[in-house]
Amino acid sequence: MARQSGIIKLKGTIGDIIFYKSKDGYLARKKGGVDKERFHNDPKFQRTRENAAEFARAGKASKALCTAIRPVLNKTQDSRMISRLVKSMMQVIKADRVYLQNTLHR
């Protein structure tokens, strides 16, 4: 990932380069990935769609937990806590016996 340095700080897209600001400063990256239509319809992306659905499930569970403990979370200043929580939720989903049985039969 490229890091911007200098006087001019950019946000947005120029050609295939995306400029954005994060907590780590101003960064740049190249556009990537496949188009939306191919992702949703191509049989080669079936497993990718399944993984995306699994990740969405973990994200929704994390949001529900965060909403439930919001008064406690307001006292913390950790911006990366949500990503760690989603990671933990993925581990919980993968520990589910029903999930394991379904993945073994593919």
Lowest average pLDDT, out of 23-32, 43-52, 57-66, goes to 23-32
The confidence score (pLDDT) of residue 45 equals 94
- This prediction has a pTM of 0.61
User: Regarding predicted confidence, which is higher, 25 or 48?
Assistant: 48
Nearest-Å Rg of the Cα atoms of the chain is: 19
Q: Where are the domains of the chain?
A: 36-104
